[in-house]
Amino acid sequence: KVVRQLRRRVEEATGGLTCSAGVAPNVSLAKIASDLKKPNNQYLVDPARVLEFIHPLPVRKIPGIGRVTEKVLRQVCNVHTVRDLYDKRGLVHWLFQPATSEFLLKAAVGCNGAGNIVSSDFGMDDEETTSSSSSSTRGVSEQQKGVS
């Protein structure tokens, strides 16, 4: 109701310009929801159904995943949807630099924002998470230069 009123006020105040709105547990999900209902509608993401909402989406719908990252995820990891990203979280964790890996893993479960995650939160045991962190053996960032 509040969002509907806000959209109506925007339309009145601007002489007829419309807007879309997304209501969700965090800013990233709200942006995605808003984009899905353009040009003049609203979408509510039920907090209890975040994974149902986000998993079928292409990874490119996630704010912060651009063309290059999408291409690397697709070509190197065979990741196309957010569900694929979640299913291949161990590979993603191993291939990408820690900050990128953390961002992608949070995106896979519909989270954003600051704060560290624990690998066990994503179903990875110590064996999977104990990999070399040197840039010569870990990280797609060095390999990205060769992806065309």
Instruction: Please state, for a pLDDT cut of 90, what percent of the chain lies above it.
Output: 64
Q: Are strands 21-23 and 42-44 parallel, antiparallel or unpaired?
A: parallel
CA-angle at 70, arms to 106 and 138, nearest 5°: 70
Tens of pLDDT along 17-27?
999 999 999 99
- Flag whether pLDDT at 138 surpasses 50: no
- Total length of the chain: 148
Average pLDDT value over all residues in the chain:
81
pLDDT, residue 89, reads 96
Could you give the CA distance from residue 26 to residue 46 in angstroms, rounded to a whole number? Answer: 11
Strand partners, 58: 81
The pTM is what?
0.72
Query: Contact 103/85 with Cβ under 8 angstroms?
Result: no
pLDDT, residue 72, reads 95
Q: Is the model more confident about 96 or about 37?
A: 96
Confidence of residue 113 (pLDDT cuts 50, 70, 90): low
